[in-house]
Amino acid sequence: MPVTRNRRPWVAAVAALGAALTLTSPASGAGEPAPSPFAAAWTAGAPVQVAPGVTHTTWTERTPALRTSARILQIVEIDPTAGSLTLESTVGTADATAQTLTEQLASVTHVTARHPYAGVNGGLFQREPAAAGADPTTPHTGVSATDGVLHSASCWSGGRGSSGAVIQYGLPYVTRLRTDLKLTGPTGETVRIDDVNRMPGRAPHCARDAEDTPTGIPNVFTDPDEIVLFTDDYGRAVPGPGTDPAVPATADPGFEVVVDAHGVVTEAREGRGGTAVPAGGHVLQGIGTGAAWLRARLVRDDTVTIGQKLHDVTTDRDVPLDASVDVVSSFHTLLLSGEVPAALPDSCGGTEKGTDGTTLICTDSRTALGTNVRGRPVLVTLTGRDNEDGDYLRSFAALLDSPELGIVDALNLDGGGSTTLQTRAGVQTPPTDLVGGTRVHRKVADAVYAGVGGYGLYVRP
């Protein structure tokens, strides 16, 4: 990878000395880089070995400036050469159901000795309203996939897709991704599938195609003509009509098709909802013209093909959706090839006045997934010691760009109350959501974890 700034070789040199290195030299000489502000403002604790190849380092802010207390930056580094390690994502016991990070990681395996070594919460999500007698569901924002199975489609963004990280063979890389989903009927006719594992007519957080339009409800888009695919990872009965009274398109009774693991239609019926997805199979729900397409072409015992493509927009190549591929998504890339993207906004969902009583500071905790100059994956959180406290997006990116950390690529994951880091020693970040007067860790849609796996690169003499 080409060097993009004069100080990049210094970054690599500093990072190679270890995350705890601080700059103590006097004034820089001619041609030498200026001392890093990070070194003066943050102190590293002793690295803790969570497992062979998994190291947890905590940096504490020395000068909180306008904050009432110091923030905590935590980094888990995964060295794939140290043994049989893997990096993967999980949606927990069911894709439709949010769970705490602890619950997500516990669902990875029932064998205690193989529980993940460390993990963080995953990508953005948005709750859907609860159907009658059921809890709210939690569709993802942008592309999500585990073991090659898509759980949501990409944001449209004028055909440019959305930011995400492809995790393959235990290593992540940050890019832009676009999905292409289609259904082929028994006569060879095809139709677009709009999304995966969310109610038809209601797209959370971003438009999935050019036909999706804003509803007037914050972060909700709508399309009255859709086909949505449900996978057996959904883990509950598929939604029925009228689940969201605020979005009229969701009231369409629609048409529903049940497909078994062999691609054979077992049911094709008017109406939709209340159906369990068969093991290895799918349920297709259509509304508007989507329902008309299903109704006119599919009957019991027909064979259909469900095509799912994941396209890397940056490299203009398709990513094979096989068991080696997981994907987590975001609206924002923080670092790419050692640079803060010019398009990264300086946004923040929660601000409050600093100790001077006037200056606004950002209190959004932050989570990131990235890779450092040693080619090792890193999991990152920025929080208060016992409260939610983070930074504006661009300031967080600049923090991760500090030479002591040596991070090259980084994807912003869900933040705020979702930000959670857990190691074998327990949860390392404070609970910040208030439920019934008690602070709790937020339930999230997915997680990224380092654990036991066969993708590690064994140490060679």
Model confidence pLDDT, tens digit, residues 156-169: 999 999 999 999 98
The model's pTM: 0.90
Confidence of residue 10 (pLDDT cuts 50, 70, 90): very low
Confidence of residue 81 (pLDDT cuts 50, 70, 90): confident
Of 30-34, 296-300, 407-411, 432-436, least confident by mean pLDDT is 30-34
* DSSP tally for the chain: helices H, then strands E: 5, 33
Q: Supply the pLDDT for residue 129.
A: 86
Q: Supply the pLDDT for residue 131.
A: 64
Mean pLDDT of 350-376: 96
348-373 CB burial, b ≥16 within 10 A, e <16: beeeeeeeeeeeebbbbbbbbbbbbb
Mean pLDDT of 215-223: 94
Output the six-digit token pair for 261: 């693991």
Q: How far apart are the C-alpha atoms of 212 and 204, rounded to whole Å?
A: 11
CB 378 within 8 A of CB 85: no
Of 25-39, 63-77, 153-167, 430-444, least confident by mean pLDDT is 25-39
Could you tell me which residue, 1 or 82, shows the higher pLDDT? 82
Q: Supply the pLDDT for residue 17.
A: 40
Residues 6 or more apart whose CB falls under 8 angstroms from that of 426 comprise none
Partners of 145 in beta bridges: 150, 327
Q: Supply the pLDDT for residue 454.
A: 65
DSSP-derived letter for residue 68 is S
Q: How far apart are the C-alpha atoms of 191 and 193, rounded to whole Å?
A: 7
